[in-house]
Structure 1
Amino acid sequence: MTILRSKSWVDIPNDTSISELMLQNVSNTPLNKIIYEDALTGKTTTYGAFQEHVQRAAYWLRHTIGFKPGQTLSISSPSSTEYIVVVHAVWWLGGVASLVNNSLHQSEIAHALDLINPNFLVVHDSVFEKASESLKLCEKHHDIRVLTLGKRSAQWTAFPAVSLPAAHPKIGKPYSLKGKDARKHLAGILLSSGTTGRPKAVMLSHYNLVAAIHQLRGDNPDNWRGSQREIFFPPLSHVYALYVCITGCFWLGAYVCLMPRFDLELYCRLMQDRNATLARLVPPIAKMLAENPVVRKYSYPSLEYFSCSAAPLTAETAEKLSKAFPHVALCQTYGCTELSGPCVQSGVRDKTMALGASGKLIANTEMRFLDLDCKDVGASGPGEITVRGPNVFMWVPICNPFCVKRRGYKDDELTTQESMIDGDWLRTGDLGYIDKDGFLVLYDRLKDIIKYKGFQVSPLELEDIAHRHPLVDEVAICGVWSESEATELPRAYVVLKKEVEKSPTHLSRHAESISNFVSEKVSTYKQLRGIVFVDDLPKNPTGKILRRVLRMEREKYENGPIRAKL
């Protein structure tokens, strides 16, 4: 068995709640330092004021609403400081915070509520009507008390603004796990990305959350320091935001400006005016920064590095971004919700890393690669990435009366068992390998691999090539079953660049050109067996293309207003 182990190891306490960890002030942050700013309103919150707001909100939750330790509160709202206050107030009381994306369809929110079954639901004004409809669509009966951020209703109670008066009572001591096992106490429930099926409710313990930020900082302190400054736009419901904004920022005393929705010009102006030292990206935004002329209107003298996550960055976009920002390092991270965030990261120090790589193992992490028969294939793989470490969601039996019997996916022990191997190794479902310089390279998603006449074809590899064609703006490739050939066929769904001519005659020529372009660079069995031009591709909120939606709704995409087939 070939096991890769991270070079750095740190001590991680197993008797500390996330709230207890937040009070450590590891960067000696002054109380008057601004750590949170809301981009649209300009409202700022200092390190000291934020702690006060959390403790007063906790008092209100306990004594006005009756929130009890072990209960679950779900929140669905755009990004704001109030959102983060609510989450920390729940943890301060020993509760479970459940984060639900506010951009979900009402049926998807209903599915989330059926999975999580929270005691309380906090929604923003903008989610008010959607939440009402979602509650009606739930398949299960729920006794959920709904609170709103900023809106009063005869039916629902408004959560108080974080700017509670100083005279308002507060709870001065956080929920403590001293003398207890933090691995057995649930802290958060997040929804998985749902790239290969309906989202699952991922349960994370206090130990998981404490471990994740210790591991990241322990591996690369320069990536995680109190002096860093950033503008953050991904939804706070994503695990990306959990370890960056909700826990990491508060723990380090770093500065984060929260954008509830992405606007390119505002983002660039804020990066300039707020002296951003890093920019956390997802691939669609990386592409904008690399290509859009608006970006050149501003300067970024403090910017040290980009950190791209949530989905693989194509080599083409990486090259363009590096050319557009020659003095800014391009770093990447790799992880998933079940890992409480990343298990691999890179930093400015990784100057030899290839553009398509993701980085090296963070502290206290082990990794191995498996073939389709779950046999180890060694570091050179490619094989399924399998991870062990303290940040892996827990699934051991527990005795806490407030929690379910096992960690893992809530109320889904079968899927939990299927996701683990050899006891405590998490099967990520992603394929990868270690390159000659020791960096992880993502090969593809196991469930997305196309099986063409006995050969395995990687959609990611073909997409990376097709992206380089001058006519292609976006592309997704997935397998389409052919009865006549009794095999899957690699089919490309392509979004053409706006300026490209799209008459039927031109589309036929474009399809032939793209197909030939790919064929020249791959083996015969990897060649495209069909091209369909579409207006757009289905994606999740972080920009990850949902190939499963393409497969499920194939007829819609292949019979849309723009189409051509080879």
Structure 2
Amino acid sequence: MPPPPPTTLAQLPGHAAAAYGDLEALTDGEVRWTFARLAEEISAAGRAAVAHGIRPGDRIAVWAPNSRQWIAAALGAVGVGAVLVPVNTRYKPAEAADVIRRSGARVLFTERGFLGTDYARDLHASGEDLGELATTVVLRGGRGPDSWEAYLAAGRAVPDAERAARAARVRPEDVCDVLYTSGTTGRSKGVTATHGQTLRLYTSWSELVTLRPGDRYLLVNPFFHAFGYKAGVLACLLRGVTMLPEARYDTDRVLARMAAERVTCLMGPPTVFHGLVHHPRRTAHDLSALRLAGTGAARVPASLVDEIRTALGAPDVFTAYGLTESGGVVSVCPTDADADTVARTVGPPLPGTEVRVTGPLGQVLPAGEPGEVQVRGYHVTPGYLDDPAATAEAVLAGGWLRTGDIGVLDGRGYLAITDRLKDMYVVGGFNAYPAEVESVLLTHPAVVDAAVIGIPDERLGEVGAAYLVTTAPVTAGELTAWARERLANFKVPRRFTVLDELPRNAGGKLLKTELRRTARGEPA
């Protein structure tokens, strides 16, 4: 008899151990764990969370790259009732501190020395207000009382029965994580999700994309994002898939690891696949085990879908669409669809999910007419953390979520995303928000007005283009350096154009549609 499906993330590691026991669950460097061993490591981290006074409902932040320690720390704490708050590893200390402070995180798991960055030192040296943060644990590179080893050691005094009792009290309707996402105002909002809706969503997603026991999944998507954590770690535990976490994406390393580890599944933004397809030494690596490739988060040309199937040899390719407020997924295009369908649409809604397209007055539009995409289903967020006004604006009466995206439904019920109501654009799979970038550019002493839009980029999908009004000559290099000191690299515009004035209407509203036409070389 197969074990009953888990109803909370607290039950998930034990479920995976019972269902897949001796199958390989994780390969990280020289470490190889079975599903049974992974469950033991997560239990040890759960006992450590209890020992450190982490209570049900407490928020714990993780600001670190992909690793086995990330998985154990997060699921160990969530398994005793804590709420996970992942933090983008590309954030500067001020950006990370903002999330930590507003989430009310009491414990932070982080690292030292990753790509020359000491997250723990830089954060505490920044002088930023860290709110209720009381404990910092260094997952890798720590020594002494703040190390991961010391954190785990404290848990040895906690009986496992106590941890199990805490796990048993976690309910499907409890919040399991808060993922921060920004709107056009640039102020990030904490999107809540519950245990029950998360498990139901990624059980459905895993089945649709055909994950299966024995698959080997290279996790290049960062765990701070739903694509890496939920469509990665959680999906692997649900389906008996081996996890191969990558701390950072490097095409040479990825090609070598795909061949050495016989990787069968790879998912990421189009830029990942573009880099692999066009790598000069791709054919020197045996990628014949690859069977499943998933992409999205940016425009996907049909030619790239064909190249993934021919050059990389993955017969099953899918695209998907979602947003943080929908748990990360709304629709999935079937893996066996033709290249044009995979590139042009994001498939039909998930089972149990409704999608409608509405006009400016809220009227539901027929198939073939573009309008705002709205979503209703069990996986729509219960709301933004401590922000009822924003919740009421995003989730309408009747449970319909406003996505802010413009789309079209065809006669089959397949959805195509054609534009955005919001100005947000996606750089290599990461969301960038113009208002935030504009506010940084406006702090430059020579800049008096700024507007940022997303423009197409062959490798990254989209990049930022900034249009500025200045009071003194300033070079693109100076502006790039200014932005890089204050923003994560993916947010930094790749193009700067100085204008006499920005296009605005009679009421002073910025006309970004005109800037987009300018960027495309069309007359204003």
Q: CA deviation at 1:247?
A: 1.3
Question: What is the SS of the residue equivalent to 1:28?
Answer: helix
- 1:33 maps to what in 2? 23
Counterparts of 1:294 and 1:335, CA distance in 2:
34
Per-residue deviation, residues 123-164 of structure 1 (Å, max 9, x unmatched) = 11237743444344435643432121144467x622228997
Partner of 1:446: 421
CA positional deviation for 1:317: 3.6
What does residue 227 of structure 1 align with?
A: 214
Aligned to 1:62: 50
Matched, 1:240 2:227: yes
Q: 1:551 to 1:427 in 2, by over 3 A?
A: farther
Choose which of 148, 152, 172 in structure 2 pairs with 1:182.
172
- 2:31 aligns to what? 43
Alpha-carbon deviations, 1:347-406, whole Å to 9, x = none?
A: 333347342222222221111111223221133231211111111111xxxxxxxxxxxx
Corresponding residue number in structure 1 for 2:446: none
Q: 1:544 to 1:299 in 2, by over 3 A?
A: farther
Aligned counterpart, 1:383: 371
Q: Which residue of 2 aligns with 1:432?
A: 407
- For 2:10, the equivalent position in structure 1 comes to 19
- Greater Cα offset, 84-93 or 123-132: 123-132
CA RMSD of aligned residues (A): 4.2
Identity, in percent, stands at: 21
What SS class does the counterpart of residue 147 from structure 2 fall into? strand
| TM-score between the two structures when normalised by the length of structure 2 | 0.75
* 2:290–2:313 Cα contact (<8 Å) kept: no
Measure how far apart 1:440 and its partner are. Answer: 1.7
The separation in 2 between residues aligned to 1:321 and 1:21, in whole angstroms, is 33
* Letter paired with 1:105: K
Deviation at 1:76? Answer: 0.9
Equivalent residues in 2 for 1:167-566, closer than 5 Å: 171-172=160-161, 173=164, 175-176=166-167, 182-183=172-173, 185-192=174-181, 197-217=186-206, 220=208, 223-325=210-312, 328-351=315-338, 353-394=341-382, 408-448=383-423, 555=498
Counterpart contact for 2:17–2:36, Cα < 8 Å? no
Tell me the matched-pair count. 456
2:143 and 2:489 map into 1 onto residues whose CA distance is: 37
Question: Is 1:369–1:377's contact at 8 Å kept on the other side of the alignment?
Answer: yes
User: 2:254 aligns to what SS in structure 1?
Assistant: helix
Give the whole-Å Cα distance in 2 for the aligned partners of 1:45 and 1:168.
24
Between the aligned partners of 1:340 and 1:565, the Cα distance in structure 2 is 34
State the 1:336 CA deviation.
Answer: 1.3
Read off the aligned partner of 1:336 and give its amino acid letter: L
Partner Cα distance (1:436, 1:98) in 2: 40
Change in CA separation of 1:102 and 1:174 when aligned onto 2, cut-off 3 Å: farther
Q: Of 75, 84, 108, which aligns to 1:88?
A: 75
- Summarize deviations over 1:28-57 as a string: whole Å, max 9, x none: 31x22211112xx23221101111111112
Q: Which letter does structure 2 place at the counterpart of 1:369?
A: V
Deviation at 1:293, TM superposition (A): 2.0
Instruction: Name the CA distance, whole Å, in 2 between partners of 1:314 and 1:195.
Output: 27
Corresponding residue of 1:111: 98
Aligned residue among 132, 138, 141 for 1:142:
132
Contact 2:372 2:407 in 1 (8 A): yes
Does structure 2 retain, via aligned residues, the 8 Å contact 1:305–1:330?
yes
> CA separation of 1:48/1:326 partners in 2, compared to 1, >3 Å: closer, same or farther?
closer
Cα pair distance change 1:86/1:360, threshold 3 Å: same
**Structure 1 125/133 Cα, relative in aligned 2: closer, same or farther at 3 Å?**
closer
For the structure 1 residues 166 and 37, does the alpha-carbon distance in structure 2 shift closer, same or farther, using more than 3 Å as the test? farther
Distance 2:434 2:388 in 1: 32
Structure 1 gaps of 5+ residues are 1-11, 395-407, 450-458, 464-475, 481-488, 498-532, 559-563
Which amino acid is 1:73 matched to? I
Instruction: State the distance in 2 between where 1:16 and 1:115 align.
Output: 29
Contact 1:318 1:355 in 2 (8 A): yes
2:40 pairs with 1:52:
yes
Asked if the contact 1:345/1:362 (under 8 Å) is kept, the reply is yes
**2-structure distance, mates of 1:189, 1:565:** 37
Q: 1:512: which partner in 2?
A: none
Aligned-partner SS, 2:325: helix
2:317, 2:411 → 1: CA distance?
19
Instruction: Answer yes or no: is the 8 Å Cα contact 2:106–2:135 preserved in 1.
Output: yes
How many Å apart are 1:216 and its aligned residue? 1.6
Question: How far apart are the structure 1 equivalents of 2:151 and 2:369?
Answer: 51
- The C-alpha deviation readout for 1:155-204, integer Å capped at 9, x for no partner, is x62222899799886525264567x8633x11111122667723321111
Q: 1:422 to 1:28 in 2, by over 3 A?
A: same
Q: Which amino acid aligns with 1:145?
A: T
Within 2, Cα distance between the matches of 1:117 and 1:166?
A: 23
